[in-house]
A and B are shown apart, each in its own frame.
Chain A
Amino acid sequence: MKLRARLLLTVFGIALPVVVGLTLFSFGARRRALVESTYEATVQRMEDRGRERCEARSERIERFEERRRGRRFRRTRRARLRRDRHAYDADYQPSTPDAPPLADGLRESLEGGEVAAAEWHEDPVRVTIAMRMPWDGPCSVLVVERGAGPMLGWPGLLRALGLSTLVAVLTALAALLALGPVVRRVRRLTEAVRAKATDGYEDDVPVEGKDEIAELAAAFNHASAEIRASLRDLRARDEAMTRLLASTTHDIMIPLTVLQGHLSDAWSSARAGEPVDAAGLGGALEEAHYLGNLMRNLSAAARMDAGEALLTRHDFDLREVVERVVARHRPIATERRVTLDFAVPEDAVVAHADSTLVEQALSNLVSNAIRYNDPEGNVAVVLEAEAGGFELRVMDDGPGIPEEELARVSERRFRGGEARKRSPTGLGLGLHIVRDVAERHEWELAFESPDEGGLTVRLTGQA
């Protein structure tokens, strides 16, 4: 419902009935006040000798009536009571012969316990008031008829009602007038907000004045600033995703192309009946392995980028992770002529962690140890239970990692692009994932270059 319509409805639905009700109440109150004041004045007057006069007159009239029953009698002026005031006895019987019988309505009201009952008449406006006096006798009920001002009649009431309605309508009009600028400003704000929505909430809407509408505009500006910030964030993420997708595609296309080349060569040889080049097939194996690991790493990186919420920790036996990772790397180790061995304790080594990430971290360490090793090299994975935790070592006797690169690995957090270069000496995405996984699980990660050469990566943590 529009604001103005709601205002009109409110005024007419609530203000008008209230004004009319108040008018009616005041009208009734004025009538009651007249009756009450008449009653009080009458009682007062009657107590000051009025009662005696009334009762004496009644007696006189009674005697006169007795006489009149005997002979013809001309009414005397003195014998008559004033026409507008009549007395009745306790049984509501007229005390004087010229008094009209008490009206039923008045009588019932008095019988009902009221001390004063009124009956209103129009044109001219007057009221008949029946009053019970605080005594018995021929003057225990008095009926007075008196005139009242025109305001106490129905035309007066109608006029008062008309006036109050007029006041209500004028109030409504005034409110509508006052609401006009408010509505216009709200409309302007609406237009401004609509316009901003199309330009991506780039600019603020104007803030006019210091009232609630201005507060609304300011709140909108605040909200659109938030939206702008998250839009910027989303755009940045979107761009990063696009870049990631592009470079991932690139990362995948190269090994895939190499893989296709090796397979194509092998297939050509096989088809021609020539011996298949084992080195070529080994290369194919390596590329496939690289691809699988790359996908796992990207998945792990995506999960870690998304934050802690996606880490699923549960209890698992680290021995199984070691066995699994070693089994995964056996083919590539064989192909590279690198000896891969592992040792695990006899009893389970339980860790509470994200098993997929831990597996991927270990997988990266083993993968690097094999990849950067020389033919006939060795790689060993050792899991040992320590007091309240474990130690996981991946050792190799390859060329090791230069000191400065080791420092880099320990210092820098994983950052998209440059960390994922596929270069023979680069550490790649893998080690950064290892670092991230260790950090998230609050495990200690140490790179050591033993005197006899090679590299030892030590991962220690609490179970």
Chain B
Amino acid sequence: MADRILVVEDDAKLGAQIVERLEGEGYAPTWLKDGGEAARTDPRPFSLVILDLMLPGTYGMDVLKRIRTASDVPVLILTARDHPADKVRGLELGADDYVTKPFWPEELLARVKARLRRPVMTRVDRVAAGELTVDLGARTVEVGGEAVELTKVEFDLLSVLVKRPGQAITRRALVEKVLDPEKQGTERTLDVHVSRLRKKLGEEGKRVATVWGIGYRFDLGET
């Protein structure tokens, strides 16, 4: 079911844009133009509230307080003032995040996604992407149903990457996590391991993407 998002924005054009974007991303937004109405609305059915603080010190903060007394729903505040006092006050009043105007729709969506991100399960046992299946518990890897033999380092490397899919991880972090410091593993050694891992995974090896200047990233999507 789509996440319900309460949008409190008095500006008609900006409100319409936000709602359109949210709908485009598959969310179910409810748009309130009036702060008073927002204060009376039960925030509990919503997964997230996007609240425009409007003018500093006006009812935006009051709405925030009301929402906070009623529920723990994440609140993302929009503020035009590029002054931290507002943000800090908003965060103190219980807002979870903020976006300052002007913002790109992508910026807002990134914050929305970050807030709605399901808590990462600490124990991910199986990760499947395309033909690739990684069983972290059993330490086995299959591509198209066929088991792939990986060395300890290669498997560790893959598991670190698949645990944070879509996120770039620095070479340095990977070296620290995967390579044996006794054997003086370097970033160069790491690259060799990655290249071997890719080869063993075949087509699915493309999922282990090189990120310029950073290191590597595991992509969940289509290759």
Interface string of A312-331 (1 = CB under 8 A from B): 10100000100110011011
CB-based contact A354/B168 at 8 Å: no
CB-based contact B214/A380 at 8 Å: yes
A265 CB within 8 Å of chain B: no
B139 CB within 8 Å of chain A: no
Segment at the interface with A among B83-91, B128-136, B141-149, B151-159: B83-91
Interface size on A, residues (CB 8 A): 38
User: In the complex, which residues 74-93 of chain B have their Cβ closer than 8 Å to any Cβ of chain A?
Assistant: 82-85, 87-88, 91
- Closest CB of chain A to B21's CB: distance in Å? 13
CB-based contact A327/B214 at 8 Å: no
CB-based contact B168/A397 at 8 Å: no
Interface string of A205-240 (1 = CB under 8 A from B): 000000000000000000000000000000000000
A264 CB within 8 Å of chain B: no
Segment at the interface with B among A24-32, A44-52, A54-62, A340-348: A340-348
B172 CB within 8 Å of chain A: yes
For residue A450, which residue of chain B has the nearest CB?
Answer: B213
CB-based contact A354/B84 at 8 Å: yes
**Chain A residues within 8 Å of B214, by CB:** 341-343, 380, 382
**Chain A residues within 8 Å of B82, by CB:** 295-296, 299-300, 356, 360
CB-based contact B212/A356 at 8 Å: no
A38 CB within 8 Å of chain B: no
For residue A313, which residue of chain B has the nearest CB?
Answer: B84
- Closest CB of chain B to A395's CB: distance in Å? 4
B167 CB within 8 Å of chain A: yes
CA–CA, A238 and B167, complex, Å: 49
CA–CA, A291 and B211, complex, Å: 30
CB-based contact A380/B211 at 8 Å: yes
Contact of A382 among B106, B170, B217 (CB under 8 A): B170
User: In the complex, which residues 330-360 of chain A have their Cβ closer than 8 Å to any Cβ of chain B?
Assistant: 330-331, 339, 341-346, 354-357, 360
A36 CB within 8 Å of chain B: no
B185 CB within 8 Å of chain A: no
Contact of B213 among A310, A344, A378 (CB under 8 A): A378
CB-based contact B84/A312 at 8 Å: yes
Interface string of A377-390 (1 = CB under 8 A from B): 01110101000000
B111 CB within 8 Å of chain A: yes
Contact of A328 among B87, B103, B170, B211 (CB under 8 A): B103
**Chain A residues within 8 Å of B85, by CB:** 312
CB-based contact A323/B104 at 8 Å: no
B110 CB within 8 Å of chain A: yes
CA–CA, A78 and B217, complex, Å: 151
CB-based contact A341/B110 at 8 Å: no
CB-based contact B213/A341 at 8 Å: yes
CA–CA, A289 and B169, complex, Å: 28
- Closest CB of chain A to B3's CB: distance in Å? 19
CA–CA, A360 and B102, complex, Å: 13
- Closest CB of chain A to B30's CB: distance in Å? 24
Contact of A327 among B91, B107, B169, B215 (CB under 8 A): B107
Interface of A is mostly: helix
Size class of the B contact interface (CB-based, 8 Å): 20 to 34
CA–CA, A299 and B107, complex, Å: 20
A17 CB within 8 Å of chain B: no
**Chain B residues within 8 Å of A137, by CB:** none
CB-based contact B172/A330 at 8 Å: no
CB-based contact B104/A382 at 8 Å: no
Contact of B84 among A292, A314, A343, A384 (CB under 8 A): A314
Known: A296-B82, A312-B88, A378-B212. A343 touches B106 (CB 8 A): no
CB-based contact B212/A380 at 8 Å: yes
A303 CB within 8 Å of chain B: yes
CB-based contact A328/B107 at 8 Å: yes
Interface string of B166-177 (1 = CB under 8 A from A): 011110110000
Known: A327-B107, A328-B104. A343 touches B212 (CB 8 A): no
CB-based contact A355/B87 at 8 Å: yes
- Closest CB of chain A to B188's CB: distance in Å? 15
- Closest CB of chain B to A300's CB: distance in Å? 7
**Chain B residues within 8 Å of A312, by CB:** 83-85, 88
CB-based contact A327/B110 at 8 Å: yes
B164 CB within 8 Å of chain A: yes
CB-based contact A397/B170 at 8 Å: no
CB-based contact A341/B212 at 8 Å: yes
B12 CB within 8 Å of chain A: no
B114 CB within 8 Å of chain A: yes
**Chain B residues within 8 Å of A299, by CB:** 82-83
Known: A323-B114, A380-B213. A343 touches B87 (CB 8 A): no
CA–CA, A234 and B99, complex, Å: 35
CB-based contact A356/B87 at 8 Å: yes
CB-based contact B212/A397 at 8 Å: yes
For residue B170, which residue of chain A has the nearest CB?
Answer: A343
CB-based contact A327/B106 at 8 Å: yes
For residue A378, which residue of chain B has the nearest CB?
Answer: B212
**Chain A residues within 8 Å of B106, by CB:** 327, 330-331
CB-based contact A324/B212 at 8 Å: no
**Chain A residues within 8 Å of B87, by CB:** 355-356
For residue B97, which residue of chain A has the nearest CB?
Answer: A320
Known: A303-B83, A312-B88, A395-B213. A343 touches B107 (CB 8 A): no
Q: Could you list 9 A-B pairs, sorted by A, with CB under 8 Å?
A: A299-B83, A312-B83, A327-B104, A330-B107, A341-B211, A356-B82, A382-B214, A395-B213, A397-B212
4 closest A-B pairs by CB: A380-B213, A327-B110, A378-B212, A312-B84
